[in-house]
Amino acid sequence: MSKNIEELEKILNIKFKNKELLYRALVHRSYINEHPEIKHHNERLEFLGDAVIELIVTEYLFTHYDNPEGELTNWRAALVNAKMLSKVAQKLNFQDFIMLSKGEANDNNPKAKQYILADAFEAVTGAIYLDQGYDAAKDFILRNVVSELPYILQNELYIDAKSKFQELSQAKTGITPTYHVLEETGPDHNKHFKVGVYLNEDLIATGEGSSKQEAQMDAARNALKIKNWK
C-alpha cells in the first residue's frame, strides 16, 4: 500500500472506530497468497456492501421519483454496475490503497482492474455500514454514487442501446441490425474489439470495447446518435 489508512479516511471524510474494518475492505484475495499472515480478504464485506448500496439507491429513487418500476430498475442498474462503481472508486483514489499480489498489480487488463475497484468500493461501503451505521453509509453513497444520476439521465446511460436500436430499426425500416467484428487486437487476456453495426449491407456506426458485447453496445449507442433516433 503506497498510502496509509488515515489518508484514505481523509478522502472518505470518515473517521473509523475500528480501522481494521477499513483495512480488510482493501485486501484483495490475491494479496493473501503472498502474505499468509493476513487471514481475511474483502469478499465478505463486498457481499454486505453490495446489498447496502442497492438498498440506499433503491430507497432514494423510490422516494424522489414517481416513475414506473421498469425505469427505476434501469436507473438503479446504471448507478450500481461495476463500470460506475469503479469510476467512483477511481475518483476517490482507491487504486492507491488496494492491496494486490504482484501479479495482479502488474496485470494491465482494464476489465479486471474495473472489477477490483468496484469490488473494493462495495467492501468499503460494507465497512462504513458496520463501523458507522446506516446513516453514514447512506451519506457516503448519496455523495459519491447517487450524485452521478444527473449525468446518467442526461446521457441516457440507463438505456440498453442494443435493444433500443433493434426496436427502432425494425419499427422504422423493417430491418434487424447485424453486428460484425471489424478489428480484434491485443493478447488473449487484454483483447480490444472494434465492431460495426449494419442495416442490410450499410455500415451505420462502429463501436469499441474490451469485449464483443461492450463493443456492440457502443456501436448501437453511436448508431442511435447518427440516426438521431430517440
Q: Give pLDDT tens digits along the chain (230 positions).
A: 445 889 999 999 999 999 999 999 999 999 998 888 888 899 999 999 999 999 999 999 999 999 999 999 999 999 999 989 999 999 999 999 999 988 888 877 777 888 999 999 999 999 999 999 999 999 999 999 999 999 999 988 888 889 899 999 999 999 999 999 999 998 776 788 999 999 999 999 999 988 899 899 999 999 999 999 87
Taken as a whole, the chain contains a residue count of 230
Residues with a catalytic annotation lie at 50, 122
CATH fold for domain 5-154: Ribonuclease iii, N-terminal Endonuclease Domain; Chain A (1.10.1520)
Domain ranges of the chain: 5-154, 161-227
7 touches 26 (CB < 8 A): no
In this structure, what C-alpha cell is assigned to residue 5?
A: 489508512
Cα torsion 123, 26, 97, 106 to 10°: value is -110
Fold match flag (5-154 vs 161-227): no
SS3 211: coil
Give, rounded to a whole angstrom, the gap between the first and last alpha carbons of the chain.
Answer: 47
Options 3.40.50.1820, 3.40.190.10, 3.50.50.60, 3.30.160.20; CATH of 161-227: 3.30.160.20
DSSP states along 70-90:
HHHHHHHHHHHSHHHHHHHHH
